Amino acid sequence: MRIGILTSGGDCPGLNAVIRSAVFSGTRLHGHEFVGFRHGWRGVVEGDTIDLPLVRVRGIAKQGGTILGTSRTNPFEGPNGGPENIKRMMADKGVDALIAIGGEGTLAAAQRLHAAGIRMVGVPKTIDNDLSSTDYTFGFDTAVQIATDALDRLRTTGESHSRCMVAEVMGRHVGWIALHSGMAAGAHAILIPEQQVSYEQVASWVMDTQARGRAPLVVVAEGFVQEGEASPHSYRGLDAFGRPRLGGIGEILAQEIEERTGIETRSTVLGHIQRGGTPTGFDRVLATRFGMAAVEMVTKGQWGHMAALRGTDIQAVSFDDALGSLKTVPEARYREAEMLFG
Ligand code: F6P
């Protein structure tokens, strides 16, 4: 079979490990051929491909990013979008099936294309770890490690200056990165989208920490919203292009803490550093196993399925069972962490 691979949505450490293992196992075990679609669904709708022989994927498992490029293009939009155009493009390129590597949005598009008759399997990807069908997604462990290292560094400069340090980490809808990095680094408060907490409560944890002679360390996920508020962002006038300037939650929180406690406070946004660079060993192995599993699904004709980690096993789960609800941080996991705050 001739199999097309694409990486779509935000990039994530481990994408290249998936591509490498799919090409290796598909070529060596089954005699498949591979083509890569460039820049996610954009390459699919535009028919922008590169061949993926073994030699092109050797040694890439440790590389961050994706050798194929990615985008947030919606394959149902534009003059060349939609299932019928994509089927025509696949026929032109001699592509029999697609492996889509992506998060909830990418896989939901893959599900719709599968329903329209395109041979499709999926590989889950997100640093946020918010896909409900799999115990872990690759990229998450790397992001947690990067955030933990950053928190350890913020702690020492905070201690030197007797300041409160606030770190804003990624997580629009879920707080897994904040929870895990905060627990690993021994943060004095962790704030996540799933749990509404008041600024008063945060200030009280910060004061308790300072009263014990320590420099408070606070981790906040970008999607956190204070109890009773609708939006995590504040309006801060217009920028040079006339667009609203929005302050991120890390900065807002730092100001609130300083005003309420009188403790000098600094905020740092870790941003895309959490998604860049080499994947951890755990993520390389998980991504490698996902790539092999996707090829097995294609070979068996398990269309409309994606790879998932259940315990230590990799399983095929149907898109219909896998998608639709995000895996949020359970209340009990937050309470475990909260017991250590202050
Ligand atoms: O979904 C992954 C993610 O890293 C989120 O945590 C973050 O909110 C978002 O992507 C950032 O997206 P972009 O790279 O488009 O700014």
Q: Please, what is the average pLDDT of the chain?
A: 95
Distance, CA 329 to ligand 1 centroid (Å)?
A: 18
**Which residues, at least 6 apart from 110, have a Cβ–Cβ distance to it below 8 Å?**
98, 100, 102, 120, 122, 306, 319
User: Which residue has the least CA distance to atom 10 on ligand 1?
Assistant: 10
Q: How confident is the model at residue 237 (pLDDT cuts 50, 70, 90)?
A: low
Average pLDDT for residues 290-307, to the nearest whole number?
98
Can you tell me whether residue 37 is helix, strand or coil? Answer: strand
Kindly report the backbone phi and psi dihedral angles of residue 121, in degrees, each rounded to the nearest multiple of 5, phi listed first: -130, 165
Q: Has residue 234 got a pLDDT over 60? A: no
Decide if pLDDT at 222 tops 80: yes
Q: Poorest-confidence range of 39-53, 161-175, 234-248, 299-313? A: 234-248
Distance 232 CA to ligand 1 centre (A): 16
ipTM over 0.90: yes
Going by CA atoms, what residue is nearest to atom 13 of ligand 1?
A: 10
Q: CATH: 3.20.20.70, 3.40.50.10190, 3.40.50.460, 3.40.50.300. Which one for 140-276? A: 3.40.50.460
Q: Do the annotations mark residue 38 as ligand-binding?
A: no
Q: In angstroms, rounded to a whole number, what is the distance separating the alpha carbons of residues 230 and 232?
A: 7
Mutate to test the pocket of ligand 1, among 172, 269, 275 (most ligand atoms within 8 A of CB): 172
Tens digit of pLDDT for each residue in 35-64? 999 999 999 999 999 999 999 999 999 999
Nearest to 268 by CA among 140, 139, 147: 147
| 6 alpha carbon – ligand 1 mean position (Å) | 18
Nearest-CA residue for atom 8 of ligand 1: 172
Q: Where are the domains positioned within the chain?
A: 2-138+279-322, 140-276
- Of ligand 1's atoms, which has the minimum distance to the CA of residue 222? 8
Q: Give the CB-side neighbour count of residue 336, counting CA atoms within 13 A.
A: 10
Average confidence (pLDDT) over 150-166: 98
3-state SS class at 338:
helix
Question: Considering all CA atoms of the chain, what is the largest pairwise distance in Å, rounded to the nearest integer?
Answer: 69
- Between CA 98 and CA 110 the distance in angstroms is 9
Residue 161 CA to ligand 1 centre (angstroms):
32
CATH topology of domain 2-138+279-322: Rossmann fold (3.40.50)
User: What pLDDT was estimated at residue 150?
Assistant: 98
**How many other β-carbons are positioned within 10 Å of the β-carbon of residue 227?**
11
Q: How confident is the model over 166-183, as a mean pLDDT?
A: 97
Q: Is the dihedral of CA 106, 107, 108, 114 positive or negative?
A: positive
Per-residue pLDDT at 232 exceeds 60: no
131 CA distance to ligand 1 middle (Å): 14
* Matching fold, domains 2-138+279-322 and 140-276: yes
Has 130 been labeled as part of a binding site?
Answer: no
**Ligand 1, from 15, 125, 128: best to mutate by most atoms within 8 Å of Cβ?**
128
Does position 284 have pLDDT exceeding 90, yes or no? yes
The structure tokens listed for 140 are 């998450």
Helix axes 104-115, 83-93, angle to 10 degrees: 80
| Nearest protein CA to atom 11 of ligand 1, as residue | 10
Counting ligand 1 atoms within 8 A of each CB, the residue from 15, 70, 127, 328 with the most, and so the one to mutate, is: 127
Length of the chain: 342
Residue 259 scores a pLDDT above 80 = yes
Cα(317)–Cα(314) distance, integer angstroms: 10
Residues 11, 48, 92, 128: which is the catalytic one?
Answer: 128
Provide CB contacts within 8 A for 98, sequence distance 6+.
3, 4, 5, 6, 37, 44, 90, 110, 113, 118, 119, 120, 121
Place of tokens 């779509």: 8
pLDDT band of 226, cuts 50, 70, 90: confident
Confirm if 47 and 92 have CB atoms less than 8 A apart. Answer: yes
Q: Determine the pLDDT at residue 230.
A: 73
> Which residues' Cβ are closer than 6 Å to ligand 1?
10, 103, 126-128, 170-172, 222, 275
> Cα(10) to centroid of ligand 1, in Å?
6
- Report whether 169 contacts 201 (CB < 8 A): no
The answer to whether residue 303 scores a pLDDT higher than 90 is yes
Asked if 128 is an active-site residue, the reply is yes
Rounded to whole angstroms, the Cα distance separating 1 from 239 reads 52
Res 241 pLDDT > 90 = no
Query: Angle 176-185/331-338 helices, nearest 10 degrees?
Result: 20
Q: What is the mean pLDDT of residues 190-209?
A: 96
Atom of ligand 1 nearest to the CA of 223: 8
Annotated binding-site residue? 222:
yes
Residues 6+ apart with CB under 8 A from 270: 146, 147, 150, 167, 168, 169, 170
Q: Where is 334: in which H helix or E strand?
A: helix 331-338
On whether 339 is known to bind a ligand per the annotation, the reply is no
